[in-house]
Amino acid sequence: MPATRSVKTLIVYDSVYGNTEKIAKAIGDSIAGSKVLRAYEADYSALKEFDLIIVGSPTHGGRLTEAVKDFLGKIPANSLGNTCVASFDTRASAEGVFMKALINFFGYAAGRIADSLKSKGGLLVAAPEGFILTYSHL
Ligand SMILES: Cc1cc2nc3c(=O)[nH]c(=O)nc-3n(C[C@H](O)[C@H](O)[C@H](O)COP(=O)(O)O)c2cc1C
Protein backbone atom coordinates (compact mmCIF):
# COMPACT_ATOMS: atom_id res chain seq x y z
CA MET A 1 0.00 0.00 0.00
CA PRO A 2 1.46 3.44 -0.86
CA ALA A 3 2.43 5.62 2.09
CA THR A 4 0.08 8.54 2.66
CA ARG A 5 1.01 11.89 4.13
CA SER A 6 -1.42 14.30 5.72
CA VAL A 7 -1.68 17.78 4.21
CA LYS A 8 0.27 20.11 6.50
CA THR A 9 -2.23 22.87 7.12
CA LEU A 10 -1.94 26.21 8.90
CA ILE A 11 -5.02 28.24 9.79
CA VAL A 12 -4.35 31.87 10.72
CA TYR A 13 -7.14 34.07 12.04
CA ASP A 14 -8.08 37.13 14.01
CA SER A 15 -11.19 37.55 16.10
CA VAL A 16 -12.59 40.31 18.29
CA TYR A 17 -15.83 38.76 19.57
CA GLY A 18 -14.96 35.06 19.11
CA ASN A 19 -16.96 34.13 16.00
CA THR A 20 -14.04 33.95 13.56
CA GLU A 21 -12.12 31.99 16.18
CA LYS A 22 -14.92 29.41 16.35
CA ILE A 23 -14.86 28.99 12.56
CA ALA A 24 -11.04 28.76 12.49
CA LYS A 25 -11.08 26.10 15.22
CA ALA A 26 -13.88 24.15 13.49
CA ILE A 27 -11.84 24.13 10.25
CA GLY A 28 -8.82 23.04 12.28
CA ASP A 29 -10.80 20.23 13.90
CA SER A 30 -11.81 18.95 10.46
CA ILE A 31 -8.23 18.75 9.13
CA ALA A 32 -6.11 16.21 10.99
CA GLY A 33 -2.83 17.57 12.32
CA SER A 34 -3.53 21.18 11.35
CA LYS A 35 -2.19 24.11 13.31
CA VAL A 36 -4.49 27.01 14.27
CA LEU A 37 -2.86 30.31 15.23
CA ARG A 38 -3.98 33.87 15.86
CA ALA A 39 -2.52 36.26 13.32
CA TYR A 40 -0.20 37.93 15.83
CA GLU A 41 1.24 34.53 16.86
CA ALA A 42 1.89 33.24 13.32
CA ASP A 43 5.48 33.17 12.08
CA TYR A 44 5.32 34.48 8.53
CA SER A 45 8.87 33.25 7.84
CA ALA A 46 7.91 29.57 8.44
CA LEU A 47 5.02 29.39 5.97
CA LYS A 48 6.91 27.28 3.43
CA GLU A 49 6.61 24.32 5.86
CA PHE A 50 2.90 24.10 5.05
CA ASP A 51 1.04 22.62 2.07
CA LEU A 52 -2.11 24.64 2.73
CA ILE A 53 -2.55 28.00 4.43
CA ILE A 54 -6.04 29.25 5.31
CA VAL A 55 -6.46 32.82 6.55
CA GLY A 56 -9.62 34.22 8.13
CA SER A 57 -10.67 37.61 9.46
CA PRO A 58 -13.74 39.42 10.71
CA THR A 59 -14.93 41.95 8.10
CA HIS A 60 -14.40 45.47 9.44
CA GLY A 61 -15.50 48.30 7.16
CA GLY A 62 -15.27 45.89 4.23
CA ARG A 63 -11.69 45.04 5.11
CA LEU A 64 -9.59 42.70 7.19
CA THR A 65 -8.51 43.53 10.73
CA GLU A 66 -5.14 45.17 11.39
CA ALA A 67 -3.68 41.94 12.84
CA VAL A 68 -4.44 39.97 9.64
CA LYS A 69 -3.31 42.87 7.45
CA ASP A 70 -0.08 43.02 9.41
CA PHE A 71 0.49 39.25 9.10
CA LEU A 72 -0.15 39.29 5.33
CA GLY A 73 1.94 42.42 4.88
CA LYS A 74 4.96 40.71 6.40
CA ILE A 75 4.91 37.79 3.94
CA PRO A 76 7.48 38.62 1.26
CA ALA A 77 6.17 38.88 -2.33
CA ASN A 78 6.22 35.58 -4.26
CA SER A 79 7.48 33.73 -1.18
CA LEU A 80 4.59 31.24 -1.03
CA GLY A 81 5.86 29.44 -4.13
CA ASN A 82 2.60 27.75 -5.14
CA THR A 83 1.60 26.79 -1.60
CA CYS A 84 -2.16 26.15 -1.63
CA VAL A 85 -4.12 28.98 -0.01
CA ALA A 86 -7.73 29.75 0.92
CA SER A 87 -9.51 32.50 2.81
CA PHE A 88 -12.65 33.16 4.79
CA ASP A 89 -14.30 35.95 6.72
CA THR A 90 -17.15 36.52 9.09
CA ARG A 91 -19.62 39.27 8.30
CA ALA A 92 -22.81 40.93 9.49
CA SER A 93 -26.25 39.74 8.49
CA ALA A 94 -27.60 42.97 7.03
CA GLU A 95 -31.28 43.76 7.50
CA GLY A 96 -33.03 45.96 4.95
CA VAL A 97 -32.18 47.07 1.43
CA PHE A 98 -30.12 50.08 2.53
CA MET A 99 -27.90 48.19 4.98
CA LYS A 100 -27.46 45.34 2.48
CA ALA A 101 -26.42 47.80 -0.25
CA LEU A 102 -24.08 49.65 2.12
CA ILE A 103 -22.35 46.46 3.31
CA ASN A 104 -22.06 45.14 -0.25
CA PHE A 105 -20.61 48.47 -1.35
CA PHE A 106 -17.75 48.17 1.13
CA GLY A 107 -17.13 44.50 0.27
CA TYR A 108 -15.72 41.75 2.44
CA ALA A 109 -12.43 40.63 3.94
CA ALA A 110 -12.14 37.16 2.35
CA GLY A 111 -11.65 38.37 -1.24
CA ARG A 112 -9.00 40.85 -0.14
CA ILE A 113 -7.18 38.15 1.84
CA ALA A 114 -7.26 35.85 -1.21
CA ASP A 115 -5.84 38.63 -3.43
CA SER A 116 -3.05 39.23 -0.96
CA LEU A 117 -2.17 35.52 -0.65
CA LYS A 118 -2.16 35.19 -4.45
CA SER A 119 0.13 38.22 -4.74
CA LYS A 120 2.59 36.35 -2.50
CA GLY A 121 2.61 33.42 -4.90
CA GLY A 122 -0.10 31.33 -3.23
CA LEU A 123 -2.28 29.05 -5.32
CA LEU A 124 -5.94 29.75 -4.49
CA VAL A 125 -7.68 26.37 -4.16
CA ALA A 126 -11.17 27.51 -3.11
CA ALA A 127 -13.33 30.59 -3.63
CA PRO A 128 -13.16 33.06 -0.71
CA GLU A 129 -15.86 32.06 1.79
CA GLY A 130 -18.01 34.29 3.99
CA PHE A 131 -19.76 33.16 7.17
CA ILE A 132 -22.75 35.31 8.08
CA LEU A 133 -23.42 36.08 11.73
CA THR A 134 -26.99 35.47 12.80
CA TYR A 135 -26.48 38.14 15.46
CA SER A 136 -24.51 41.26 14.54
CA HIS A 137 -22.92 44.09 16.53
CA LEU A 138 -23.71 46.57 13.72
C1 LIG B 1 -15.88 48.16 13.61
C2 LIG B 1 -16.70 47.11 12.90
C3 LIG B 1 -16.89 47.21 11.53
C4 LIG B 1 -17.63 46.24 10.86
N5 LIG B 1 -17.80 46.34 9.52
C6 LIG B 1 -18.48 45.37 8.85
C7 LIG B 1 -18.62 45.43 7.44
O8 LIG B 1 -18.12 46.33 6.75
N9 LIG B 1 -19.30 44.44 6.80
C10 LIG B 1 -19.84 43.40 7.51
O11 LIG B 1 -20.45 42.53 6.87
N12 LIG B 1 -19.72 43.31 8.87
C13 LIG B 1 -19.05 44.26 9.53
N14 LIG B 1 -18.92 44.19 10.91
C15 LIG B 1 -19.42 43.00 11.62
C16 LIG B 1 -18.24 42.06 11.81
O17 LIG B 1 -17.93 41.44 10.59
C18 LIG B 1 -18.49 41.07 12.92
O19 LIG B 1 -18.45 41.79 14.12
C20 LIG B 1 -17.42 40.01 12.92
O21 LIG B 1 -17.62 39.13 11.83
C22 LIG B 1 -17.43 39.23 14.19
O23 LIG B 1 -16.28 38.41 14.16
P24 LIG B 1 -15.50 38.13 15.52
O25 LIG B 1 -16.55 37.63 16.50
O26 LIG B 1 -14.53 37.06 15.20
O27 LIG B 1 -14.86 39.39 15.98
C28 LIG B 1 -18.19 45.14 11.58
C29 LIG B 1 -17.99 45.07 12.97
C30 LIG B 1 -17.25 46.02 13.62
C31 LIG B 1 -17.05 45.90 15.12
pLDDT tens digits for range 100-123: 888 889 999 999 999 999 999 999
Domains and CATH numbers, the chain: 9-132 (3.40.50.360)
Residue with the nearest Cα to atom 2 of ligand 1? Answer: 60
**Among 16, 29, 12, 23, which Cα is nearest to 132's?**
23
Q: What is the pLDDT of residue 9?
A: 97
Average pLDDT over every residue of 43-65: 94
Residues 82 and 124 sit within 8 Å (Cβ to Cβ): no
Residue with the nearest Cα to atom 19 of ligand 1? Answer: 137
Q: What is the pLDDT of residue 55?
A: 98
Does ligand 1 lie within 6 Å of residue 56's CB atom? no
**Among 135, 45, 51, which Cα is nearest to 95's?**
135
Ligand 1 centre to CA of 134 (Å) is: 12
Does ligand 1 lie within 6 Å of residue 99's CB atom? no
Q: What is the pLDDT of residue 3?
A: 62
Mean pLDDT of the chain: 92
Report the predicted TM-score, pTM, of the whole model to 2 decimal places: 0.94
